[in-house]
Chains A and B, each alone.
Chain A
C-alpha cells in the first residue's frame, strides 16, 4: 500500500512539474535521492582539488577500454590462423577501425600513465595513512591486474612484436624455481607459443582479468568511501578537521574535465598517429628483436644484468622484496605525518625507485642506439611494419574444394553421379544440406549401405513429399552413390 505522504507533497507543492513528479515516482521505488546523496555529497576535507582527479580518470579510461574492447570483438578472432588477418581487417578496412583500435591500444598506455600519477599522488600526499591498509592493498592488486591486462592484450594482434615480446615474457616466468616451467606451459598451453597460447591470453584478457578488475574497483571505491577522503597533506587522515566540501559539483566538474582532457588526447593521438600493425608473426624468424612497450622497458633492461645462475636474484628475490615493501607500506610507515618533507625515508625511497626506472629506461635507449647492428635491425623492423601498413588488406583465402579428389574411384564416380543426378540441387554441394533438402554428411554412420541403396530406389513418403525422386539408374551407379555418401564426413 502506498503511503499518503507523496500525494500530499504533490498537491501541496503545486508548481512541481512533471519532471519532478516522475523523479519522485522513481525515488519512491528505487531510492534515487538517497543514491544521489550517497554518491554526490561525499565530503572532501579541505575542498575540491585537481590533485584528486586521477582515480576518476582511471575509471574513465577503464570504461573506454571496456567499450572499445567489446566493439573490437565484433571482428576479432582469437586463433593463430585468423587473429592477424582480422586485426589487419579492422585496421585497414573497417570504418573507424584504425581509430578505435588505436584508442584501445593507446588506452593501455594511458591507463599506466594515469595509474602512476594516481599512485604518486597517493604516495606524496600520504593518503594511504590512517586505517587505509586494505584500501592500499586493493589498489596494489588493481595495479597488478592492469599490468596483466597490458601483458595479455599485447599478444592478441599476433604480429611479430606481439609474438616475440610474449615469448620473452613467458620465458621470464619459467625462471621461477619449482613452478616456473609449469607456469610457462600453463600460460602457453604447451611448450611452444601457438594458437592455444593465444586462446589463453584472450580468455584472460576479456573474461578473467576484467571480472577481477570490476570486483576490485567496487572494493576499492567501497573502502575509499568507508575511510573517507584523506584531504590535503595538512589534514589528520583519521579525524579530519578542515571544512569539507561536497564531491558535487566542483570535484565532479574537475574529474570530468580531466576525463575530457584524457579522451581528447587519446582521440588526437589515435587520429593523427594511428597505431600500426606489423607483419604476421613468423615463429621461424631468428633475426627479430623484440622490444616491449615503454612501461616494460625498465624491467626489460633490469633483466639484462642478471645472467645465468644469478638470474633468480634479479627475476625473483629482488622483485619480491620490492613488491613486499610496496604492499606492506601502510603497515611499515605507521606515523600519521603526511608532509613529504617530514618523511625523508619514504620520500627518498620513492625518488630512488622512480629515478632507477628512468635510469634503466635511459640505459636501454643507449644500448639500442649504441650498437650499429641493433640500430640497423630495429630500423629494418620499422620499415617492414610500415611496408605492411601501406599494403592493401589481403583477405584470407578459403579453399574452393578442400579435399580435391577422393582416392577411391567409386567415390569419385559417386560424386559425379551425385551432381549429374541433381542430388546436389537439394542436398547441397558435398551433401552439406540446403533449405530444400536434408544434410547428408554423416548419413553413412546412421544407415547401412543396403538401407541407403533401398531409400535411393524407393524413398519414403516423407522423402517424396520433400521433393525426393526415386533413382532409376543401374545398380553399380547406386553402389557408387552410396560409396560417395559414406565418404561424406
Chain B
C-alpha cells in the first residue's frame, strides 16, 4: 500500500492542474454562454424583414377625389409571438400635379390628430391650431413642417400604404424605428 506522501500530488502538479481546470472551465463556460446570449438578445439581433403595407382599396376609388378623404387602415405589427392589428387613420389627397398622396393624420408638431375642415377647405390640428393646405403643405401655426406623406405602391391592382411614425418638432421628416 502506498504511503500518504506518495498519494499526495506534488504542489507544482496541483497548481498546474488548478490552471488547467480554471482555463478549461472558463473556456467551456464561454462556449456554452454563446447560445444563451443569442437567445436572450433575439429581439435585438433578429432582422425584422416585415414591412407592414396596409390596403387602401382600388386606386380608381380616388380618381375623382375633390377634397381629402379620411380612410381607416389596418396596420399589422409583430410583437414577439403576437400579431397585433391596429387601426390608424390616414388622408388620401391630391398633390399639385394631381398625383395621389397619402398623408399621416398625426400632426408633426406634438402628435395630435389632424382633422379636415370641409368649410374652410384646409387641415386643422385642434390642439394648437396648426393649419395645412389640402395637399398637406404647412399654411400657418406652430408645426415645424408639412403633414407627413406616407409611402405608397400599387400591388395586384390595389393601393397600398406603409404606415410609419415620424419624429415630431423637427423641420425634416425622420422615420422613427
Contacts and interface: CB of A to CB of B under 8 A. Distances in A.
Contact of A243 (B7, B24, B111): B7
B98 interface: no
A204 interface: no
A47 B35 contact: no
A425 B74 contact: no
A252 B82 contact: no
Interface string B83-98: 1111101000000000
Interface string B9-45: 1000110011011001100100010111011111001
B83 A422 contact: no
A263 interface: yes
B41 A95 contact: yes
Interface in A407-435: 419-422, 424-426, 429
B113 A256 contact: no
Interface of A: 47, 67-68, 71, 74-75, 82, 85-86, 88-89, 93-97, 99-100, 242-246, 248-250, 252-253, 256, 260, 263, 393, 395-401, 419-422, 424-426, 429, 436, 467, 469
Contacts of A246: 8
B87 A396 contact: no
Contacts of B115: 420, 422
B111 A425 contact: yes
Given A82-B81, A96-B42, A419-B89, 7 more contacts: A71-B36, A88-B81, A99-B35, A253-B20, A398-B84, A425-B111, A436-B110
B112 interface: yes
B36 A67 contact: yes
B4 interface: yes
Q: Is the interface of B mostly helix, strand, loop or mixed?
A: mixed
Nearest to B107: A425
A436 B109 CA distance: 12
Interface residues of B, number: 50
A396 B28 contact: no
Contacts of B9: 249-250
B176 to A, nearest CB: 14
B39 A97 contact: yes
A365 B1 CA distance: 50
Contacts of A99: 35
B38 A400 contact: no
B2 interface: yes
A250 B17 CA distance: 9
A401 B72 CA distance: 13
Considering residues A89, A95, A246, A429, which has the most beta carbons from chain B within 10 angstroms of its beta carbon? A95
A143 B123 CA distance: 73
A396 B82 contact: yes
Contact of A395 (B25, B34, B82, B110): B82
- Cβ-closest 9 pairs across A and B: A425-B113, A96-B35, A89-B81, A400-B85, A425-B112, A249-B17, A395-B83, A95-B38, A96-B38
Given A74-B40, A260-B28, A400 B74 contact: yes
B127 interface: yes
B126 A429 contact: no
Contacts of A401: 87
A95 B39 contact: yes
B143 to A, nearest CB: 14
A95 B2 contact: no
Contacts of A242: 1
B78 interface: yes
Contacts of A425: 107, 111-113, 126-127
Contacts of B84: 398
A249 B18 contact: yes
B106 to A, nearest CB: 8
Contact of B81 (A244, A260, A395): A395
Contacts of A429: 86-87
A162 B17 CA distance: 46
Contacts of B34: 96
Nearest to B127: A467
A258 B38 CA distance: 26
A469 B126 CA distance: 8
A74 B125 CA distance: 42
Given A395-B82, A397-B83, A243 B39 contact: no
B46 interface: yes
A467 B125 CA distance: 12
Nearest to B89: A419
Contacts of A420: 115
B39 A89 contact: no
Nearest to A257: B24
Interface string B109-135: 011111100000000011110000000
21 contacts: A89-B81, A94-B39, A96-B42, A99-B35, A100-B36, A243-B7, A249-B18, A253-B21, A256-B24, A260-B28, A395-B83, A400-B85, A401-B87, A419-B113, A421-B126, A422-B114, A422-B115, A422-B125, A422-B126, A425-B111, A425-B113
A263 B32 contact: yes
B86 A400 contact: yes
A243 B112 contact: no
B3 interface: yes
A248 B9 CA distance: 9
A421 B116 CA distance: 11
Contacts of B28: 260, 263
A250 B122 CA distance: 85
A489 B42 CA distance: 36
A244 B5 CA distance: 10
B157 interface: no
A243 B45 contact: no
A159 to B, nearest CB: 15
Contacts of A395: 78, 81-83
Contacts of B81: 75, 82, 85-86, 88-89, 93, 393, 395-396
